[in-house]
Structure 1
Amino acid sequence: MTALRYMGWVTGCSVLTAFVSIIWQAFLSLQTLNRTTVLLSGLLAIEGSLKRPALEPAPKVAIGYGACTDLQINATEFLERYYSRRIPAATTGSREIVNNEDELLQSFAYYFQNGAAAERVMANTTLFKQLVSYAKVMDKNRIQWYMGGNAPLMAVRFFMEGAEVLLGAHMSKKLRPLLPKEIRLAGDEIPNDDIHLILEYKAGDTWGPYVAPRANRYILHNDRNNPHLRAVEQLTDALKIYQPQLLVVSGLQMMDMFTFNPGEREARLLQVKRQLTSQPSDTLNHFEMASYVELQLLQQLQQFVLPYVDSLGMNEQELSNLQQVLAYGRTTLATDWNPRIAHTLDQMRQVFISLLEDYGDRSGNDPRRRRISRIHVHTLAYQAILTTADSKWKNTRAAAAKAALTAHRYVCKSQFVNPEAVLQVLDDSFATSAQTNAPRMRIGAASPVPCWREYIEYGRKQQRLEVEICVAPVLVCREARKTAGAGDNISASGLAAQL
């Protein structure tokens, strides 16, 4: 009897413990859902403040260069089907150009296990065509075709946000109808568009011993049109009449060295510089970063592009890469896929100071230089925007909120934000710097998008410049539907909000 009583007591305690655990988990879930709903309401309210007065004309935006067709496939399904017996035991992400299948598999595995976005050129045209043919014969329901290219995707987003848009790009008859007819096109018709192979994967996807910590994509291309920026001259001519408020330069990561004869790439970048420097001072210039790996190209961007723009847009990988190039003259491989806000903000400050010190002096040998006044970094978990206090950029808080909502809507492929489909990555507060005793900011009902002002010192004379920084939490999509092009849409929505 004693044993039976003891067993009954143990069973009762187990049932009670399980019951309490269920109740506690339900309570925690309810708390999380409540916090998500409160943040969503706050973000939507801030976004709603962006409504443009009815009599105010739409902002005019021009953007270049290039366009392509994106062929999107599930990465792990594709590789399991064709390369299941060739999963690499070791990985490397250091190759600038992919030449063969082994290099492709090693490079993909490296970025896949780090959850990092990557874009690589496949120098072997025959192999690239073979990979595309492999993708085409997969289940038709498992592949998707899209209009691609940084410039067209940003152009469409600017149009959706109410801007008047001029796009500099060459397109085929098949691709042009995918672009809204209201978007003006400066560029010739071409017989065939370049194709980009988009290997998409979700958080938790596995390939052999490798597991993806977050949703992302690996992009392969073998372009013949886009690297040469053939629409630059036509866009330059159109700009003389169009006179935009904002000029956006993107797609320069396509300019891989193997495509060009000696000196040819530098000549094309010189045309980009001339386009940027020919804009009047009241036209804002923005450069959209991308997955750059070739150090020489980045150094050429330091010469021909960075000194002549007001604004930069990038993700956490691109921010780390740019910071390393500016500070140490070297590139980086994959970095933390979910960096702390304090770390990102410190890197933004370092890039901002480097650009001010290197290019901000207009009294130097080139009076056409511009002083950087805006940096937007988009990550999985948050949007961070830094602007100078005396600049033409407005609505920094609303721009951060808009970018955060665009991130969720685009990746989820839904205009409706369902709180139950959201994963919150950020805590309720964050440090504004990794330095000791740095101030902390809270994220909550009272402040869904924390903003503050601070002074940044730069130069030998320790000049001080006041900046505003805003950080908006991203309501991360639990089941990512599409990541390729997310950065372009996020950046464009943030820019549109600040014009």
Structure 2
Amino acid sequence: MTSILTGLLAIESSLKRPLQPPKVAVGYGACTDLLIHATDFLNYTEELVKGVGPEFTVDEVNDRQELLQTFAYYFKNGAAAERIMPNTELFKELIQIAKSRHLNSIQWFLGGNAPLMSTRFHLEGANTTSSCARRNKIAGDEIPEDDIHLILEYKSGDTWGPFVAPRANRYILHSDRNNPHLNSVEHFDAAVRNFQPRLLVISGLQMMDSYKFAHGVREARLLKVQEQISLQSPTTLQHFEMASYVEIELLQLLRQYVLPYVDSLGMNEQELENLRQVLTKGRTTLATDWNPRVATALDQMRDVFQILAQDYYRNSTGLPHRRLLTRIHVHTLAYQALLTVRDSQWERTQIAAAKAALTAHRHVCQTDMINPESALLILDDSFATTAQNKDTASRIQLNPQQPVPCWNETIVVNDQKSLPIEICVAPVLVCRVAKKTAGAGDNISAAALSQQL
């Protein structure tokens, strides 16, 4: 464990920072997070929770039963989730219960993907601007309920009725009326135009998931996002941060309006399998294996990359401003996996993977100093590079002195085109006692990106 930590820190410290801080613009939206321990807040009620099987699905949460059922489903699977509650009165009641009955245990934080990622980029030395033109209040009764996101966190081993959490994670509930409409897009337009960033990050689009828009409104807002990102200079890299999506219609719209125009994607293991299912089968999957084998995740990454590359070469001549995806970052509990196209604008993939792994521990443990005694290694000491052809699969041995293995491959896109890629995998020193999982993905993804600009 100590050797792996030393090796990761050595890779992290090898970054030579540019003389000029890279410019990063991050959109969209912001909120206030109210953090509370899930099993203290929600009372298990057997009568309400029954009937939650493997195929259980609810896109939105309308009443107490649906709240308890959806929480039970994701809790027992250890899967992160974010759901909208159109029932504003019930949502306000939940917020008031948290503030009155759990006053001494709740925590307030600035929330939303854009401010969290922007803050991390700033901490890593970037010059940032974001779409969050709003006040920075993070506590107090004056915050409107529809601006609050309720973060129900739980630790590995927590129990709730008959269920045991296999890992630390969070269930997010909101009744947001502002962020689904991406009200900051127009304000962000002028800021980005004047700023001329090296990197533009698109995040927060999951706020549109399952929200009841008037006919054509969501498509119009996503078209505005497409216009914004498609008009950027070719020298501005563009990254889309995935999130918890359940609505197939929205994912299909993202495939049309966003995915063809970005250079990079970031996601967790659940979001990776969800995206692969959408691209290959036109459907979503709710909760997947919370700790997938490296070979499985790498195969899914290759599938996503290949399909989007095929789309690019099929349509690049007729549709201007489209971009070839050249980077995928998947962050899991046990490891960080990065796939980049060789000789693309993404450099230092190994450093980015190491940085992501260290940031995962630091954020979840809420510490700058990593103590090996506070960590455990879930990643096996060796892993296969693919699960699809076990006869030809290479096996990578984890070397504690050089803990981030990287190797080159070639992905066949079509009969005329193949692309050389580099893959790096970094082990995560998993925090034994999780203090904060909300915002982990945003911090991990931004930290990794900051090393490659």
The TM-score bracket by the shorter chain reads: over 0.9
Cross-structure match for 2:306:
353
Change in CA separation of 1:112 and 1:64 when aligned onto 2, cut-off 3 Å = same
Whether 2:418 is the aligned partner of 1:493: answer no
Per-residue CA distance 1:135-186 (angstroms, 9 max, x = gap):
111333311000000111000000000000010124236259xxxxxxxxxx
Residue 214 of structure 1, aligned match among 157, 161, 167: 167
Aligned residue number for residue 449 of structure 1:
404
Q: Which residue is equivalent to 2:52? A: 91
> 1:402 aligned to 355, 368, 375, which one?
355
Q: Residues 107 and 462 (structure 1 numbering): CA distance in 2 closer, same or farther, change over 3 Å?
A: farther
Q: What SS class does the counterpart of residue 142 from structure 1 fall into?
A: coil
Q: Which amino acid in the other structure matches residue 103 of structure 1?
A: E
Aligned equivalent of 1:75: 38
Aligned residues: 446
Query: Which of 424, 434, 455 is residue 377 of structure 2 equivalent to?
Result: 424
Match of 1:144 in 2: 107
Equivalent residue in structure 2 for 1:101, among 39, 53, 64: 64
After TM superposition, what 4+ stretches of structure 1 lie above 2 angstroms from structure 2? 83-87, 138-141, 172-176, 190-193, 256-259, 359-364
Greater RCO, CA 8 A, separation 6+? 2
Q: Which amino acid is 1:441 matched to?
A: I
Q: Which has the larger radius of gyration?
A: 1
Paired residue secondary structure (1:166): strand
Residue 89 of structure 2, aligned match among 126, 139, 142: 126
Matches within 5 A, 1:33-432: 36-53=1-18, 56-80=19-43, 83-84=44-45, 86=47, 88-91=49-52, 93-172=56-135, 174=137, 194-361=147-314, 363-432=316-385
**Identity across aligned pairs (percent)?**
63
Contact 1:173–1:191 under 8 Å retained in 2: no
Deviates more, 1:335-344 or 1:432-441: 432-441
For residues 479 and 107 of structure 1, the distance between their equivalents in structure 2, rounded to whole angstroms, comes to 25
SS at match of 2:49: coil
Give the TM-score of the pair, scaled to structure 1. 0.87
Separation (CA, whole Å) in 1 of partners of 2:36 and 2:144? 24
- Distance verdict in 2 for CA 1:209–1:191, change over 3 Å: closer
SS of 1:61's partner is: strand
Q: How many Å separate the matches in 2 of 1:170 and 1:446?
A: 45
Residue aligning to 1:33:
none
Q: How far does residue 444 in structure 1 lie from its aligned partner after superposition?
A: 1.7
1:446-485 matched pairs, under 5 angstroms: 446-459=401-414, 461=415, 463-485=417-439
**Structure 1 192/85 Cα, relative in aligned 2: closer, same or farther at 3 Å?**
closer
Alpha carbons of 1:363 and 1:118: their partners in 2 closer, same or farther (altered >3 Å)? Answer: closer
Deviation at 1:84, TM superposition (A): 4.7
Structure 2: gaps of 5 or more residues: none
Query: 1:362: Cα distance to partner?
Result: 5.7
CA–CA separation in structure 2 for the residues paired with 1:249 and 1:79: 33
Pair 363,412 (structure 1): closer, same or farther in 2 beyond 3 Å: closer
1:476 alignment partner AA:
V
Deviation at 1:88, TM superposition (A): 1.3
Q: 2: CA distance between counterparts of 1:307 and 1:175?
A: 36
Shift of 1:87: 5.3
Structure 1: stretches of 5+ with no match in the other structure: 1-35, 177-189
